[in-house]
Each structure stands twice: as C-alpha cells, then as structure tokens.
Amino acid sequence: MKISTNSVVTLQFTLKDSNGNTVDDTSEGGFTYIHGHGGFIPAAEAVLEGLEAGTTVQFSLKPEEHFGERNESLIDTLSKDNFEEDVAVGDQFQTVDEEGNIVILSVSGVNGDEVTVDRNHPLAGLTLVFDVKIESVRAATAEELEHGHIHGEGCDHH
C-alpha cells in the first residue's frame, strides 16, 4: 500500500549535513510513525506521501523546512549549581518549554562556575540530506488513531 494519512510507516534512514557528516540515523528497529499527524518532519512526510514499502528515496531539506535557523537568543549562561558536578560540553538534557514542547538543551561551554546552554534544536541551521528506505507501510488501527501512537512491540504506555 502507498503511504497516506493514517498509514503506520517504518523507515530506516541516515541523515547527513551538507558536508556529508552523519548527524543522525535510525537504530536497528527503525523509526515508526503515523503519517499525517506531525510524527515526523512535515516536509519529509510530504516527500514520502504516496510511496510504498521497499522504496528508497533521497532528498534534502533546508533549515526553514525542518527545525529552522539557529537563534542566538536561545543560548543562555546558567550557574553551574544547576547541574551535576561533572557536567561537560556536549551533554544534552531534555526539558519542556512554556508551551509544553520538548526542548533539547545542549551544553556548549563550561567555564568556571558558568555553564553555557543552547536551546536550539541540534539540527537547526543545517541543510539535511535524508537517505530513506521505507521498510513497511500498514493502516493504523482505530485504537492506535484514538491513542495517537503505535501499538505492538515497543509500546510501553499500558
């Protein structure tokens, strides 16, 4: 079947920046989402629409098509008291913003008692090159659509 709204899609993908450095890839289980509900980057979902299992596709997205440009006002300096003693550059923490969105906070500097944190999405500002293989496509069940997530292996909410 072709990918359309309410398809449960499993992908394997590698994500590179415009210099060819790998910035993300799917682990062994792949990445599964329900199509048409914002579970994946909307511009990427638009490319996948209508494709079938077994298809491989390569495409690139500019920053404005995924997580936006980097915003320097999202960089803050905090007291080291807020962190574990061994906080280090590259550490990442998950937090929640005022609207309830999950934000990944990356430590970009540790200087004496000051820790510099960056709330930009780690992929913001990059042109992303996707190399995608569509592993499987099936229709979501009514229960999955009601719950807004996929059931079966790896489901841990019950």
Contacts of 89 (CB under 8 A, 6+ apart): 107, 108, 109, 110
Q: Give the 3-state secondary structure of residue 120.
A: coil
Comparison of 134 and 140: residue with beta carbon closer to Zn ion: 140
For residue 118, give the nearest of 98, 100, 92 by alpha carbon.
92
Residue 37 sits in the site that holds Zn ion (CB under 5 A): no
Closest distance between Zn ion and the C-beta of residue 7, in Å? Answer: 18
Of 80 and 147, nearer to Zn ion (C-beta) is 147
Matching residue, tokens 């415009």: 18
Distances (CA, A) of 91 to 109, 112, 116, 134, 158: 10, 16, 11, 32, 31
Supply the minimum distance, in Å, between the C-beta of residue 126 and Zn ion: 33
In this chain, which stretch among 4-12, 30-38, 79-87, 143-151 interacts with Zn ion, using CB under 5 A? 143-151
Nearer Cβ to Zn ion (9/150)? 150
| Minimum CB–partner distance for residue 156 and Zn ion (Å) | 10
Closest approach of Cβ 141 to Zn ion, in Å? 10
66/43 Cα distance (integer angstroms): 7
Q: Which of residues 88-107 bind Zn ion (CB under 5 A)?
A: none
How many chain residues touch Zn ion (CB under 5 A)?
Answer: 1
Is 147 a binding residue for Zn ion by CB under 5 A? The answer is yes
Q: How far apart are CA 67 and CA 24, in angstroms?
A: 14
Chain residues in the site for Zn ion (CB under 5 A): 147
